Structure 1
């Protein structure tokens, strides 16, 4: 006997029955209306609430919060209405989605679940759309049934349900829903696929939507295997650096060079995915340039949210948030207190404070410092000896008294200060992904 729609839904949601709370992303459209109705009438579920995100992109949308409120009131489900600002850009659809999911992330607490109403037809559209854009396996896996969101989870319990089944349920229960006028506009790629392409495909192949959705599942399994392979390959490359105080993601290059080109790209995609938006296939030539550069070169690969640097036999990820800081000279009138460096962390002196006046400057080239037992030495040569990555060297705060370079932070130099009764300590800036 074929299971009913409520039974299928509750079976899919089984793994999250003990979550602290469930939130429904409630647009007021068909799919989220059916999802809300199904769960509002189920028993023994976690506390249920709804979230309506108002994007403010069209005049018709101004009436939707009131509709959603009336539906939720009738079902006894609390509703939170969130108004967001959609950043202008090349893709309005993507900008609206980003704003929407940012709002969702603000609501979902630890262990809680956000439920969205995408269904089997949406999955087929997503696969076609990404296929036509030349997506890789990860993209062609389309929408996962669940993924992490903030401190909780996002779940799509209707992905195995067709739009026709949802419409039949809505009509049987006399539900009313919003028809977004923009969903009929063929200028949007997904609408074009929905109204112009998929009807032609299903006319020739009636099971096209089911087949496309099943293909996305197979590709999801394939991506899972690629992720497992990447974890194995990265385990060998995830060796600690000599500069653990940087707290920047980094990998040893030698284990990666032992892999085929395809496995290198797979490992790097897995490693970079939580750090940045990945480039398209044409831009992976930059990885080859960085990988194959001479050992004494300092190549970098600029990506959407930061830079990948190669320093010797190691690659480092430097997020964009850590790139800019003030190079201005700073006086340090009270060296007994820590000194804030704009965009570059904090300095502190320990031990007997050297006589002033003291200043903090940054490298200009040609600096000379007194090294115990070695005399006056060129700072550049000393930094080369200790192998400090070059992307850090320009950030090193240098302690001066007049024209005399007194000290370089102990973290970087690996050599003692001219006297042993004080030290200069640098605590680099805290970033989301490094230099913390």
Structure 2
């Protein structure tokens, strides 16, 4: 058994669970490092799901000390909302490992041929197409580097034989025996029957997975031009371009779009919902389709892929001069300071999906209005609920509902309750990053909305 790493000088980061697969890979990696003098380290992700989790940390630490490899522990907590325990743990594990992968690094994981068979059968059970049936790739982009599975063509029996030959010890996760989990049921109940009947079944599945991956790559290559025509630099997707496609092409372009986010891939039913309920919605509708912890939204002729945000409409806080207010849900801080240039400043770093929403307003020039001292004549409050509020933005005549103003400023519905509203008594003073009410425009104060993310 040998490892195959194409770049001998790349730093190798081993995902070390402590099970037999990653334990064998640790032994192989240590030998590879000695032969090639390349940098390497091991990372153990502590889920806290087992009563033995702390013991596993110490066993992994001991093995890394014996192999003279640096060792790190990533402690994680995760939410299973919207997905099963296995899927949630897997997603949280890879998110934790991303923190250790710098540009050009290789993340090594211990999946093998039997794991590939389990993955294939699980995808078959879900009714997956070529993308799902292609299983796990031996090499693929990951964060700033690549994910490598050196043992993917080795069987579990070969790995066990190697471990016994080299007298390696490893930890046993008791949950691996629980056949309530689908993967364990396939491993303990289904695979033995299949392999007993057809000994070469795992190799046949590996070939089928590789063929499916090849077909998927061909589809992506043939549709790349159409996909790029629909895709905007900020990752919006043109509704017009999608509607010009046939059903099969449209579904594939949507899969290509989701693939770049490296999040949960939608099911066939969800793709149909996106096509029929979101793409074909009326222009004044506010359609939405939830995919895991994100949503597909339609706005201004484009599809947007946005997180499911917390509901903060009932949050409010008093704001005082030179006392920054910490905004909820990672929205940064809001500060009322002395005005010099007297501009209402938006210094918020947006996600790729959101960045376009204020593009026309922020790329031309800042909103050049400050606040008059009259705004402090009554206590000032920060709110995120625009319902029932009206305002008179500088340069506009008359008073208008915030809902109408948000529409005119082309702010999509999912951001309208995430923009801080400054209120004096019952009057809107300003909407941070958008406008100042003409009754409070002046040269005394400056409102700054900022975030470090």
Q: In which range does the TM-score fall when normalised by the shorter chain?
A: 0.7 to 0.9
- Give the drift of 1:47: 2.3
Contact 1:233/1:256 (<8 A) preserved: no
- Give the drift of 1:150: 4.2
Bigger shift: residues 122-131 or 359-368: 359-368
Question: What SS does structure 2 have at the residue aligned with 1:41?
Answer: helix
Contact 1:417/1:423 (<8 A) preserved: no
Question: What SS does structure 2 have at the residue aligned with 1:111?
Answer: coil
| Structure 2: 5+ residue stretches without partners | 337-341, 344-368
Larger C-alpha radius of gyration, 1 or 2?
1
Name the CA shift for 1:58/1:259 in 2 (closer, same or farther; >3 Å). same
Pair 1:295 & 2:283 matched: yes
Aligned length: 410
Contact 1:409/1:424 (<8 A) preserved: no
Name the CA shift for 1:72/1:290 in 2 (closer, same or farther; >3 Å). closer
Distance 2:387 2:129 in 1: 45
Q: What's the CA shift string for 1:277-304, capped at 9, x where partnerless?
A: 3442223343111211222222222332
Where does 1:112-123 land on structure 2 (aligned, <5 Å)?
A: 112-123=105-116
Distance 2:205 2:143 in 1: 30
- Give the drift of 1:70: 4.8
Match of 2:241 in 1: 255
- Give the drift of 1:64: 4.3
| Structure 1: 5+ residue stretches without partners | 241-247
Normalized against structure 1, the TM-score is what? Answer: 0.76
Match of 2:42 in 1: 50
Distance 1:419 1:100 in 2: 50
Match of 2:189 in 1: 196
Where does 1:23-422 land on structure 2 (aligned, <5 Å)?
A: 23-42=13-32, 43-58=35-50, 63-81=55-73, 84-85=76-77, 91-228=84-221, 231-239=224-232, 249-273=235-259, 274=261, 276-287=263-274, 288-321=276-309, 323-326=310-313, 334=321, 342=328, 346=334, 349-350=342-343, 353-358=371-376, 359=380, 363-365=386-388, 367=390, 369=392, 372=395, 375-376=397-398, 378-379=400-401, 383-385=406-408, 387-395=410-418, 411=434
Question: What SS does structure 1 have at the residue aligned with 2:254?
Answer: helix
Contact 1:237/1:251 (<8 A) preserved: yes
Contact 2:390/2:400 (<8 A) preserved: yes
RMSD: 4.0
Distance 2:56 2:316 in 1: 55
Bigger shift: residues 42-51 or 392-401: 392-401
Q: What's the CA shift string for 1:92-112, capped at 9, x where partnerless?
A: 433443444344334334432
Among 7, 12, 27, the residue aligned to 1:22: 12
Question: What SS does structure 2 have at the residue aligned with 1:107?
Answer: coil
Contact 1:298/1:312 (<8 A) preserved: no
Name the CA shift for 1:108/1:391 in 2 (closer, same or farther; >3 Å). closer
Distance 2:220 2:56 in 1: 41
